[in-house]
Structure 1
Amino acid sequence: MWGVGLWGPAQHHPDPRPAGQGGGAAPAAGHERGHADAGGEGRGGEDYEGATVIEPLKGYYDVPIVTLDFCSLYPSIMMAHNLCYSTLLPPGGVQRFGLGPTDYIRTPSGELFVTSKVRRGLLPKVLEGLLEARSRVKQALAQEQDAGRCQVLQGRQGALKVSANSVYGFTGAQAGRLPCLEVSQSVTAFGRQMIERTKQLVESRYCLAQGFPADAKVIYGDTDSVMCRLGVPTVPEAMAMGHEVAAWVSEHFPAPIRLQFEKVYCPYLLISKKRYAGLCFPSGPAAAPALDCKGLEAVRRDNCPLAANLVTACLRRILLHRDPAGAVLHAQEVISDLLCDRLDLSQLVITKELTRAARDYAAPQPHVSLAQRMRQRDPGSAPALGDRVPYVIVTGAKGAAAYTRSEDPLYALEHNLPIDSRYYVEQQLGKPLLRIFEPILGEGRAESILLRGAHTRSKTLLTAQVGGGVLAFATRRSTCVGCRAVLQRQGAVCDFCRQREAELYQKEVGALAALEQRFSRLWSQCQRCQSALHQDVLCTSRDCPIFYMRRKVQKDLDAQQALVARFGAPSW
């Protein structure tokens, strides 16, 4: 496209990069623009300023928060302002071609493009066709009843959406086939200007001075959307006002740029840039509210399951039940259970992929160090490159690095190695919990309430010593089941507890039955997972919590059977 069109091949530079440079396009000297370099970067095509993010007003909002979204923002900007390779004016083009003030526009980044009345750009024509095709597909999707056809149409409209958005993308790809940073940086500059303009319009129009019940406030904005507190108490009122605000703001931008109402959050937890969560009420008439989270670590595989489960549970209490105090209490209870070794080992397993050899890592990593130790123990079962390595952090010498204390969960279970629960509180739960609760409790107060409270000092000396491990098992075999007195002979009870032997026996048999029932349920679940209801379970998935639950229950079941066997033949 370069050199073809209104200006002729001699007038338009086909590739403004210096000879031998493979980066993005660099504008020629003397190009008509009047702005400072973005972000301190040079204008040599190395980088350009992207979308803007309005500084978030962090906090917990128990009032409706309206989300307004620009429809196909970047494609609509390119169509509205006729941004294209073929409409970009070269240096001195205004005087050279005798263009009048209404024949060209200057973008916020200082680039010059002719208007559509002089020449309609090729990229706007392409985008218009893509968006019209997507609109037709979405209309057909709304009328389609067949589930299979709906999936096809949904995929088609998604492909058209990606194609339209990629038109802007490949103009900014410095190593691409058709780079043109003048177009891409103009698009993002218009986007930044529009977000700021939307904020100014909303806050100046919808305020007490204009007769509205409250002053509207834009609490966050990112790329193509803004989130507004409009001062209305209910979700239906917020939806109605959101449609009104979107229509009024759209009038201030050229077609086809259009701001639309998207959804309402109530309540809403704004954590930081690109991190928020809320109970979402979509604009559709039959759409049900749902929990919506962005930027949180609830699904990261390199965090232990406990972190994801606790974050999800706290968010549900905060957003669904509107009970931040209950969420704090739940987090404190889970931390207390963790420090007292009352949680299942499967909740503490961390997995990370072994991507390269140990020598290629800049610093020692827990999963890499464990893979080396497992290779020394049994080379045949050691993890290979590309495998995900599960591990837990066990207790060790004071100040020892985490990579020296990583251990195979099965090995730790079989050898009764105590888990370093303090590591999990500080390294696995601390940051995710603080991100959620700092906007509610305050930065310093959240840490003292969650991670430094009385609930963190409830770990007894016995628990710290045995960690649910070998000493606890040995105590069962050498002491009385009833009073824990040391036995001088074989058996289950001492002479003092002999009269309660039947009661104690029934209690231990009940515990044995409960373990058998739990093991049976876990076994059945593994059978269903393998689709082998009449075969033995051969599952060895080290990345599955059920696998570790089953092995732990099997170990407890063996220990409980041995304890019941100590009673011998009943004599009562």
Structure 2
Amino acid sequence: MLRKEEDLTRNGQGDHLPGSKTERPENLNAVCVGPGMQAPLGSSCQVSYLDSPSVSIFPFLGRIFARKSVIRDSSFQSKQMGRRENKVINMEGRIQFDLLQVLLRDYKLRSYTLNAVSYHFLQEQKEDVQHSIITDLQNGSDQSRRRLAVYCLKDAYLPLRLLEKLMCVINYMEMARVTGVPLNYLLARGQQIKVVSQLLRQAMKQDLVMPVVKSEGGEDYAGATVIEPLKGYYDVPIATLDFSSLYPSIMMAHNLCYTTLLQQGAVESYGLSPEQFIRTPTGDRFVKASVRKGLLPEILENLLAARKRAKGELQRETDPFKRQVLDGRQLALKVSANSVYGFTGAQVGKLPCLEISQSVTGFGRQMIEKTKQLVESKYTIANGYSADAKVVYGDTDSVMCRLGVPTVAEAMEIGREAAAWVSSHFVPPIKLEFEKVYFPYLLINKKRYAGLYFSSSPDTHDKMDCKGIETVRRDNCPLVANLINTCLQKLLIDRDPSGAVDHAKEVISDLLCNRVDISQLVITKELTRTADEYAGRQAHVELAERMRRRDPGSAPNLGDRVPYVIISAAKGVAAYMKSEDPIYVLENNLPIDTQYYLEQQLAKPLLRIFDPILGETKAQNVLLKGDHTRCKTVLTAKVGGLMAFATKRSTCIGCRAVLSHHGAVCKFCLGHQSELYQKEVAHLSSLEEKFSRLWTQCQRCQGSLHEDVLCTSRDCPIFYMRKKVQKDLDDQEALISRFGPPTW
């Protein structure tokens, strides 16, 4: 505690001088008395204790007493995350850990609102309250204020639950410890600073100085090789062999580093013999470890050795918290080791070195090709095996082999044998490992495949693994992901291709007949730039501008994901002009452009999956042509300019004939009026039951069955369903009112 009239001695930066007895006041009522309520730096001030907290001390949030916290605008831009604009508050001596930034960096989600993230990871949702009704809730009853309190509590509680579930703080603390950078650098800076810190740490041990290089881009180099895929549906086990930490192991095996690179003429000037250096596949030369051990290989060896120790301790540890720490540490060590190669290849970076990066990828291409050659040359019928092995696909650090055996157990056994045999042909620590077996396996194209994943037990698959397919992509509507996922389950798990085709045709029919809920048609895209910065006009950007003109307070900001649907419009109108807010579509009863969803969203993903099974021509004829595609949506809303002049007239509920009077039925259907009335009442009852179920589900989600539902979460499909049924209920009640009051 500060005493009254105690001298506050600080240095020129506002910090406490070493050895001074000054401490930050624990009592918030203690304030500096002086001009502007703040003493000049280097001078003394008096501290008085007031009876009530003063607003003037509120901005001093850091641990340096005289440094005021201010808000400033901050902009961050990268290829991975696009451009993001934030508000930054300085709090010296305190770490600000923004969970949103962690999620944006580490996870690919359709939406990053607290509701969507909480439901994805915790299966819980927040108490969503629209900002416009907060004042009414506060001024209302005890129950309404309780709702507001629960809303505030959940807003604070759910991020803490997420921090615990995802182990964000633990993982980032271990990453900071491993790389030697401050914790806030991991959120505010890119990947390169972590490698720079480790380089400086290692260079200091060897009395080396790291140069400052100004780089504004350089020439590209050949990347990893991709073996041309043999596309098709494989109803036999496919073994996958994977190089363990391929690029780090290449750099360690061949001593690739800035300090071991030999420039032109260096071999002759140093008098090196051919045994003292290596020539890489790209023609570059590096001295061997026997002459000089490189900095980068030492860093990588330390990281991988530390990871091996952490994984060993993790297996022996029983305390749950310590297990989390060790798991976070081994993950940080793995990520750090893999980022070293990327650091050398970043042409706009701190210390790019084309010779290292192109040599690493050159060795990688050579090893993939050699692995393919070795596997296909040994595992043949001539060598006593049941079939000739064939590598059906290879990418960067893994090869997928059809070994010709009928069971997963045999594929695992031969896969392990092949991995050990191929590893013996490479320089340590390069090691090829058996990773998994796919059975069955659907190979669509480069970086696009799916299969049942067997890694430990040959009897039970771990999961259905999909790469590059719309089940894991975010730039399509949920209908695409759900349909593709169901079709893959029928193909891979049920082994029922005809059932998969029938399901796809049924969904297409439901879409064209407008039987698909709007929540399945919502597309979300991230707003990474302003409208004038995009090369072409984008649907989500145009919608954001329209929403800003309607209501600036609710318009999306930079970095937000914008949800939209495509509505029907006049022929020839571009898709970016047909994007609209889903809630606006529901409220104004705008029709959906179902043909756009079929042709632009569903067609290509479906054909990619069924082409290897049915053939390209047959798949197109079966899925996109036929009776199931002849049901078209009936447009009931105003579309086009001429519809604005159309006069809405009542039609008969029975035969849809135009009525000359205001009523329910025409004179020809008058005898069936009672039957028609009962039919419409039954439909109203079914809508009421559906709405009640959705209402109860929302009440359970918000934690109360005795209050109104105030949820407005646009990331929840139940919200759109409830809004749609509510609109249908209003329309159905209006239709029944045309029958007039009952005559009984």
Bin for the TM-score computed over the shorter chain: 0.7 to 0.9
Q: 1:90 to 1:279 in 2, by over 3 A?
A: same
Percent identity over the alignment is: 67
Match of 1:105 in 2: 278
Pairwise CA RMSD: 3.5
Question: How far apart, CA to CA, are the structure 2 residues paired with 1:420 and 1:109?
Answer: 53
Structure 1 position 417 matched with structure 2 position 590: yes
**1:298-353 per-position Cα deviation (integer Å, ceiling 9, x unaligned):** 34444222122112122222222122222222112111111111211222222334
Asked if 1:464 is matched to 2:637, the reply is no
Cα deviation, residue 516, structure 1: 1.8
The answer to whether structure 1 residue 265 and structure 2 residue 438 are counterparts is yes
Query: Secondary structure in 2 aligned to 1:209?
Result: helix
- Structure 1's 105 and 383: CA in aligned 2 closer, same or farther, altered over 3 A? closer
Q: Which residue of 1 aligns with 2:134?
A: none
Partner of 1:552: 724
Say if 2:505 is the partner of 1:332.
yes
State whether structure 2 residue 477 is matched by structure 1 residue 309: no
1:36 corresponds to: none
Letter in 2 for 1:118: V
Moved more, 552-561 or 237-246: 552-561
1:114-153 deviation line (CA, Å, top 9, x unaligned): 3333333333232222212111222222334444433322
Cα deviation for residue 407 of structure 1 reads 2.8
Q: 1:94, 1:13 → 2: CA distance? A: 23
Partner of 1:47: 220
1:540 is aligned to 712
Counterpart among 494, 500, 503 of residue 321 in structure 1: 494
> What one-letter code is carried by the residue in structure 2 that aligns with 1:234?
T
Q: CA deviation at 1:273?
A: 1.3
2:362, 2:395 → 1: CA distance?
13
Q: Take 1:404 and 1:50, find their aligned partners in 2: how far apart are those partners?
A: 39
TM-score of the two chains, using structure 1 as the length reference: 0.84
Q: Within 2, Cα distance between the matches of 1:261 and 1:47?
A: 33
Cα pair distance change 1:526/1:302, threshold 3 Å: farther
Find the residue that maps to 2:274 and give its secondary structure. coil
Q: Does 2:384 correspond to 1:211?
A: yes
Alignment of 1:332-411 (within 5 A): 332-378=505-551, 381-411=554-584
Distance in structure 2 (CA, Å) of the matches to 1:112 and 1:249: 26
CA–CA separation in structure 1 for the residues paired with 2:252 and 2:550:
65
Contact 1:51–1:192 (Cα < 8 Å) also in 2: yes
- Per the alignment, residue 30 of structure 1 pairs with none
Deviation by residue 1:475-508 (Cα, 9 ceiling, x = unmatched): 9974245x66677877656787777666655544
1:293 has 2:466 as partner: yes
Shift of 1:281: 0.8
Q: Quick one: distance in 2 between partners of 1:327 and 1:273?
A: 23
CA contact 1:279–1:289 (8 Å) conserved in 2: yes
CA gap 1:53/1:541 in 2 versus in 1, 3 angstroms: same
Moved more, 116-125 or 252-261: 116-125
Contact 1:519/1:553 (<8 A) preserved: yes
- Find the counterpart in structure 2 of residue 60 from structure 1: 233
Judge conservation of contact 1:480–1:486 (CA < 8 Å) in 2.
no
Question: Which amino acid is 1:58 matched to?
Answer: K
The letter of the residue matching 1:110 is G
* Separation (CA, whole Å) in 2 of partners of 1:529 and 1:394: 31
Does the 8 A contact of 1:77 with 1:190 survive in 2?
yes
1:130 and 2:303 equivalent?
yes
Matched-pair contact (CA < 8 Å) for 2:452–2:492 = yes
Q: 1:349/1:172 Cα in 2 relative to 1: closer, same or farther (>3 Å)?
A: closer
Q: Given the superposition, is the C-alpha separation of residues 273 and 500 from structure 1 closer, same or farther in structure 2, using an over 3 Å criterion?
A: same
Partner residue of 2:683 out of 504, 508, 511: 511
CA distance in 2, matches of 1:535, 1:186: 66
Task: Between 542-551 and 558-567, report the one with greater CA deviation.
Answer: 558-567
Give the Cα–Cα distance (whole angstroms) in 1 for the partners of residues 273 and 421 of structure 2.
31
Q: For the Cα contact (< 8 Å) 2:215–2:349, is it kept in 1?
A: no
Superimposed CA distance per residue, residues 50-77 of structure 1 (whole angstroms, 9 cap, x where no aligned partner) = 2111111111111111110011111211
Preserved contact between residue 250 and residue 259 of structure 1 (Cα < 8 Å): yes
Alpha-carbon spacing, 1:263–1:420, altered in 2? closer, same or farther (3 Å): same
**Distance in structure 1 (CA, Å) of the matches to 2:253 and 2:553:** 64
Deviation, 1:227, is 0.6
- Please say if residues 207 and 216 of structure 1, whose CA atoms lie closer than 8 Å, have aligned partners that are also in contact: yes
Shift of 1:277: 1.2
CA distance in 2, matches of 1:189, 1:301: 33
For residues 328-383 of structure 1, what are the alpha-carbon distances to aligned partners after superposition, in whole Å with 9 as ceiling and x for unaligned?
Answer: 22112111111111211222222334444434433333333334444555555555
Distance 2:357 2:270 in 1: 24
Looking at structure 2, the residues matched to 257 and 321 of structure 1 have their Cα atoms a distance apart, in angstroms, of 39
Displacement after TM superposition at 1:188 (Å): 1.4
- Conserved in 1, the CA contact under 8 Å of 2:651 and 2:665? no
**1:179 positional shift:** 2.9
Distance 2:630 2:452 in 1: 35
Answer whether contact 2:420 2:432 (CA < 8 A) is retained: yes
1:22 partner letter: S
C-alpha distance in 1, partners of 2:341/2:555? 47
Comparing 115-124 with 336-345, which one deviates more in the overlay? 115-124
Q: 1:491 to 1:150 in 2, by over 3 A?
A: farther
Structure 2 letter corresponding to 1:290: K
Which of 181, 185, 192 is matched with 2:358 structurally?
A: 185
Q: Distance in 1 between matches of 2:319 and 2:678?
A: 59
Asked if the contact 2:649–2:658 (Cα under 8 Å) also holds between the matched residues in 1, the reply is no
Is it true that 1:521 corresponds to 2:693 in the alignment? yes
Aligned equivalents of 1:386 and 1:122: distance in 2?
Answer: 38
Deviation (angstroms), 1:395 = 1.9
5+ residue gaps, structure 1:
25-44
Amino acid at match of 1:547: F
Task: Give 1:109 deviation, angstroms.
Answer: 1.5
Which residue is equivalent to 2:136?
Answer: none
**TM-superposed deviation, 1:410:** 2.9
SS at match of 2:603: helix
Question: What residue in structure 2 maps to residue 28 of structure 1?
Answer: none
SS at match of 2:240: strand
Distance 1:198 1:532, change over 3 A: same
- The aligned runs of 1:8-87 (5 Å cut-off) are 22-23=215-216, 45-87=218-260
Q: Which residue of 1 aligns with 2:324?
A: 151
The match for 1:197 among 362, 370, 377 is: 370
In 2, the alpha carbon distance for the partners of 1:146 and 1:49 equals 47
Aligned partners of 1:70 and 1:258 also within 8 Å: yes
Alignment check: 8 A CA contact 1:341 1:467 kept:
no
Distance 1:183 1:489, change over 3 A: closer
SS of aligned partner of 1:464: coil
Mean Cα displacement is larger for which, 334-343 or 297-306? 297-306
Unaligned runs of 5+ in 2: 1-198
326-335 or 378-387, which deviates more? 378-387
Call closer, same or farther: CA 1:467–1:267 in 2, change over 3 Å. farther
Q: Is the Cα contact below 8 Å between 2:437 and 2:455 reproduced in 1?
A: yes
Whole-Å separation in 1 of the counterparts to 2:322 and 2:459: 21
1:282 counterpart (436, 442, 455): 455
Q: How does 1:442-481 map to 2 (within 5 A)?
A: 442-459=615-632, 463-466=633-636, 478-481=651-654
AA partner of residue 456 (structure 2): S
Q: Following the alignment from structure 1 to structure 2, what is the Cα–Cα distance between the partners of residues 540 and 323?
A: 40
Q: State the alpha-carbon separation in 2 of the partners of residues 377 and 87 from structure 1.
A: 62
